[in-house]
Amino acid sequence: MKFDTPAGTNPIDQMKVVGKPVDRIDGKLKTTGTAPYAYERHDVVKNAAYGYIVGSAIAKGRINSMNVVDAKSAPGVLAVITALDGPKLGKGNSNTANLFGGPDVEHYHQAIALVVAETFEQARAAAHLIRVDYTRTDGKYDLAVQAKSAPLKGDGSDEGSGAPPVHRVGDFEAAFAAAPVQIDQTYTTPDETHAMMEPHATIARWDGDKLTLWTSNQMIDWSRRDVAKILGIPKDNVRLVSPYIGGGFGGKLFVRADAALAAVGAKAVGRPVKVTLQRALIMNNTTHRPATIQRVRIGTDRSGKITAIAHESTSGNLPNGDLETAVSQTRLLYAGANRLVSMRLALLDLPEGNAMRAPGEAPGMMALEVAMDEAAEKLGMDPIEFRVRNDTQEDPEKPGRRFSHRNLTECLRRGADMFGWDKRMAKPGQRRDGRWLVGMGMAAGFRNNIVTKSAARVSIDAKGVVTVRTDMTDIGTGSYTIIAQTAAEVMGVPLEQVVVLLGDSDFPVAAGSGGQWGANNSTAGVYAACMKLRAAIVQKLGYDQARAEFTNGTVRAGNRSVSLGEAVGQAGLTVEDGIEYGDLDKQYQQSTFAGHFVEAGVDAATGEVRLRRMLAVCSAGRILNPKSARSQVIGAMTMGAGAALMEEAVVDKRFGFFVNHDLASYEVPVHADIPHQDVIFLDETDDKSSPMKAKGVGELGICGVGAAIANAIYNATGVRVREYPITLDKYLDRLPQVV
């Protein structure tokens, strides 16, 4: 199905099943521990051996030798495969560093050996017997130092954010110099890691020259392609299966060492091998969100209209690595005739930087939305009114190119009313609640909507049961449920009569889970396949296509009606189709918007921060399932709180690694850190997005909330912190004196 004109009235508009807060159909499996995750697929292979990966103990240099004699003779060991004597693996399209390093080492904890044994404990014990002789060479590990000479570089995140090396509209410098009100500030965000609950894990089995991987991966087709390239085998010889994923947040978009080395190990020992990346290895071996240094300049006239806006960001990565595209939202969020964005990429020898939930906008909004608050304060204007005054319905870089649907102002107005913004003290440090200094902060939220083709296979049997097969994944987002809702709505059957099978490369290629694009595109693909199935049924019955109605498990045209089971007969019926897009996303800017509101308390004596209330008001097209969408947003808000207050992968700038590479020392929010969270979805549709008239929402919840927290802390204390995370050492000595 080609989607190249705005959606008209269609079966989804019935909203009998779609749009309802349906419980997750996979919820019982998750809560009873019976959902089959990759490492636990005892049902698919017998007699699996265990692999244990050894990571490099240096960040940059060369392996001179590896002594594996003791490891090979250890109890239960079946094979020891090293980077010096093992197969030479290729590099996947999505990998910056080699997944199997050596003899040259590209980053700390790069995989350099795999031990395969009968048990996990035997493999682990033998791995610790390997002795490696290295020559360490000097590396570049300090972004602040390397930023001084970092070259300009343009890039895209492949998730809708990006910019050229330098992009100008009008004459920023002249307009900024002439602006009567100016702010010019620098903000920093640290390296962060995904810290998902389920580690990267894979079971590999060879059947002749064909490989099956049961793995934890967000993008099945991308990864199938890369596995084939890494191993040097045809893509048709690779099957990936990933029906349940225990969190990814971008860290499982691409193939990692567990998948590649499980395949290598299974080939070496002639039996299935299972490999998981131990937690201490994940944070340096896989990918992370790169740190940024961001300079934001805003110039306005006396009335608060932005006349000049600039956002410049520097991040770092390995050679040929990607940027953190933190300036992207500044190109689209606010009006202003004179504009400048630029990005620089410093060469660092730290582990690979890549996508983490909402790459680009998540750290970019943490700078931009604090700068907006600083500009509002300098103007003596309410922060909400300042943002509303600079709202726009057109792409600020391309006048005349309108947004497909933009309701930022309503997000801000509704949020202000719900949150009691009128009770906020404009002057910081004025409100107290016992020992607590209390403040309110807000920020706009922004994330682009991406459309990408997605397909599904839909069948119906003689009992009227509809089965959907697609390689779409469910990373805890509720894909099973919204896909089932879509099929039930279009085919006119109860939700209980829909079976959804996901995450298998034998199924049609879907959008996959990433970039906030999964829900809208995967359901649109299912919609296309179901519409094709409807047409096939109607044709088989000889009904008039224009008059046919699918409802309550029947198909009706005029006074003729038959159950779907009878209509397809004993043989059933199967069709395959997908959604393909025209250029509506080029004609119109497709984005999602939010208003984030936070109330924070800061202990006047100790400086401890406690979040007291949080609210997000979201404008993101049709919400397919308000219950699962709310879960996505509050999870994103929680991640935003972590980014604002505690998350930092601390770099050892001498030896080039993240020191706190475990869940004990890498702090993430826990239940006690998070207050009640309210989420409001504006009742709207976007007919230019897809037949579903929906857009993504799962990453919108993280974009802006960190800045709202920072702004709330400033409003509570009068102390502005521009270096995330906002920890005690950065403001304790500047708190108002306790009286």
CA-nearest of 133, 135, 152, 123 to 61 is 135
Q: Answer yes or no: is 647 within a domain.
A: yes
Q: Are residues 433 and 561 in the same domain?
A: no
Those residues with Cβ within 8 angstroms of residue 592's Cβ, 6 or more apart along the chain or in another chain:
445, 446, 447, 448, 449, 516, 618, 619, 620, 621, 695, 696, 697, 700
- Domain-located, residue 682: yes
Task: Calculate the dihedral angle through the C-alpha atoms of 36, 39, 40, 42, rounding to the nearest 10 degrees.
Answer: 110
pLDDT, tens digit (0-9, with 9 covering 90-100), for 112-168: 999 999 999 999 999 999 999 999 999 999 999 999 999 999 988 888 889 999 999
Domain edge (last residue) among 559, 585, 611: 585
**CATH code of the domain in which 516 resides:** 3.30.365.10
Q: Is 648 a catalytic residue?
A: no
pTM of the model: 0.98
First-last CA distance in the chain: 69
> Which residue, of 585, 620, 639, is where some domain finishes?
585
Three-state SS for 189-210 is ECCECCCCCCCCEEEEEEECCE
Domain total in the chain? 2
Residue 572 and residue 655 in one domain: no
Q: How far is CA 397 from CA 273, 369, 387, 611, in A?
A: 53, 19, 18, 37
Q: 3-state DSSP call for residue 219?
A: coil
- Asked whether residue 426 is domain-assigned, the answer is yes
Q: What is the pLDDT of residue 158?
A: 82
Q: Which domain holds residue 681?
A: 403-449+590-739
Catalytic residue among 369, 374, 647, 699: 699
Mean pLDDT by 10 residues, the chain (739 residues): 98 98 95 95 95 98 98 98 96 96 96 98 98 98 98 90 95 98 98 97 98 98 98 98 97 98 98 96 98 98 98 97 97 98 98 97 98 98 98 97 98 98 97 97 98 98 98 97 98 98 98 97 98 98 94 95 97 98 98 98 97 98 98 98 98 98 96 97 98 97 98 98 97 88
* 604 and 660 co-located in one domain: yes
Residue 216 lies in a domain: no
How confident is the model at residue 739, as a pLDDT? 59
Residues 659 and 575 grouped into a single domain: no
676 within domain boundaries: yes
For helices 479-491 and 518-541, the axis angle rounded to 10 degrees is 30
How many of the other CB atoms lie within 10 Å of CB of 651? Answer: 20
Residue 145 backbone dihedrals phi, psi, to 5 degrees: -70, -45
Please tell me whether residues 644 and 736 are part of one structural domain: yes
Q: Identify whether 611 is part of a domain.
A: yes
Query: Does residue 594 sit within a domain?
Result: yes
| DSSP label at residue 395 | -
Is the dihedral angle over the CA atoms 411, 447, 256, 106 positive or is it negative?
Answer: negative
Q: Going by C-beta distance under 8 Å and a sequence separation of 6 or more, which residues neighbour residue 28?
A: 34
679 and 633 in contact (C-beta within 8 Å)? yes
- The Cα–Cα gap between 697 and 425 comes to 31
Which of 536, 553, 585 is the C-terminal boundary of a domain? 585
